[in-house]
Amino acid sequence: MNRELKNTLYTWAILIISCSLLVVPLPEFLSFFRLPWLSLAVIFFSIMTPAGFGVISAWIIGLLADVLQGNIFGGNAMALSLIAYLSYRFHLQIRVFPMWQMMLSVLLLLFLNELLVLWVDGIQGQMTFNYIRWLGIILGTLIWPIFMAFLLNLKSKIL
């Protein structure tokens, strides 16, 4: 298998897994621990390995997430493709940032993603203020260094 194909397979495997994690059933006391895995993965791929990823990939996986979560068709697709685009625009800067600035950028991107999803919900008239999702953004930011190191390590081991 050549390198490029392997890279694509790796990317999509991670994307599908993070997409599945969105709907994993959690017991009541763990329900706050619902991280925006898919957004994190999209940001990771756009910043770290943009070659095997792109706006279209983000859009397609967003559509899959919409069907999976029973959301309006295209809501996540819109938000994630925009996030992928923005992360790529600044990926050269973000890559060389010190960790805390990198985490801050991730926080900003996750926040924007959440706002977009909330906006789409609001247009449909079902906007509910859900503190769990905002908590998820902060937890997602805190977990970013581990998340990034894990995916980079895994990649260098597999490829």
Q: Shortest Cβ distance from residue 73 to another protein (Å)?
A: 4
Long-range CB pairs of 120-125 (<8 Å, 24+ gap) are: 120/71, 120/72, 120/75, 120/78, 120/79, 121/72, 121/75, 124/72
Shortest distance, position 108 Cβ to another protein, whole Å? 18
| Binding of residue 14 to another protein (CB under 8 A) | no
Residue 158 near another protein by CB under 8 A:
no
Contact with another protein (CB under 8 A) among 69, 104, 135, 142: 69
> What is the chain's Cα-based Rg?
15
Single-letter residue type at 10: Y
Distances (CA, A) of 58 to 3, 7, 116, 120: 21, 16, 15, 18
Instruction: Give the C-alpha separation, 98 to 11, whole Å.
Output: 25
Please check whether residue 148 is in contact with residue 140, taking contact to mean a CB–CB distance below 8 angstroms.
no
* Subset of residues 36 to 55 that bind another protein, contact rule: CB under 8 A: 46, 48-51, 53-55
Instruction: Please tell me whether residue 78 binds another protein under the rule CB under 8 A.
Output: yes
State the residues that interact with another protein by CB under 8 A: 16, 19-26, 31, 34, 46, 48-51, 53-57, 59, 62-64, 67-70, 72-75, 77-78, 81-82, 84-85, 88-89, 92, 95, 99, 120, 123-124, 126, 128, 130, 132, 149, 152-153, 155-156
